[in-house]
Amino acid sequence: MKTDGKSCCAPNSTCCAPKGSVPKLKKETGSKRLEIEFLYLDLSVCAPCQGTDASLEEAIVEVANVLKAIGVEVVVRKINVLSEEQARELKFVSSPTIRINGRDIQLDVKESLCESCGDLCGDDVDCRVWVYQGHEYTVPPKAMIIEAILREVYGGGKEVSNDTQWQGDIPDNLKRFFAARRKKENTMKTTLKIEWRHLDVEGETCNRCYDTGENLNAEVKRLNRMLEPQGIKVEWFETKLDDTQIPQSNTILFNGVPIEDILNIEVSENYCDSCTSLLGTKTYCRTVMYDGIEFEDVPAKAIRQAALKVLGLEETPAIQSGCNCNGCC
């Protein structure tokens, strides 16, 4: 009840609050902030990193209501460690790592071979092994993470610095990972792989596919003569198709991308007398519209232009002629 426009309530009472409303609690001053860092090498293929990410997410969801009720703010940072320099700056010693308010939830570093990271970088690399209640895991159990969070909130944990892990530089395992991945990336940048798909019937192919193969072989030789001094290598290989794969026949792909997706080329088809003879049935094969002309084979000029475009290079008179000169062309 109110009189003279004044509340009848005692201080902090809620009896005069609007019906159905929820009283607001005072926010505690100096509320605790929990900073959780998840540091990892890769989330695209690394199974231990992917599993740790999922386990961390589940643990945070599990304790979210408790932390909210006691006024704890949670901030999660996920850091993809991409280089030796970044690893040193972060004093990163093993992947994956979970830190709460700057402290690793497992100060003892134990690792085992990680096949997925090995596939990623092309060398043998170890990832972290988590030890919890006397057992080893490639992914930290949710309960282990929850215990670490609550320990940080309520205390009771050892105040041990991460400096006990840090030996002044990153471990050889991480150096090997970064060096191998860098080498693999450089190789991918400087190697162009060209795939030629064509019909094969007991070692024979159709005339238009044969002509494309001759054009491709000549252009790869020309490109290698010109690009080798720049450290660029062009390789080609063939994929033989059967009669159920005719629509793919006479196709060229550059690092997995079809030539028609690289250049302004339209793909069509017409009757192929050669394939009809080989297969004994009326057959239509691919044609390409290039520079306003329809070709049954893929022309050499188109192959060259597509290769250079994928490599981010400009066509020069020397490349056009195939001359490995020092500017005479």
Mean pLDDT for back-to-back runs of 10 residues, the chain (329 residues): 41 42 38 92 93 96 94 94 94 96 92 92 93 96 96 72 73 94 75 94 95 96 91 93 94 93 93 94 95 96 94 68 43
Write down the pLDDT at residue 107: 85
Write down the pLDDT at residue 14: 42
Tokens of 114: 């990680």
Query: For the whole model, what pTM was predicted?
Result: 0.52
Write down the pLDDT at residue 184: 79
Beta carbons of 290 and 299 less than 8 angstroms apart: yes
Write down the pLDDT at residue 7: 41
- The H-or-E segment that residue 216 falls in is helix 207-227
Write down the pLDDT at residue 196: 96
Q: Which domains does the chain have, with CATH numbers?
A: 30-170 (3.40.30), 190-321 (no CATH)
CA–CA separation, 33 vs 259, rounded Å?
54
Beta strands 233-241 and 293-295 are unpaired
Write down the pLDDT at residue 316: 63
Write down the pLDDT at residue 218: 96
Closest CA to 206 of 293, 270, 154, 262: 270
Write down the pLDDT at residue 185: 74
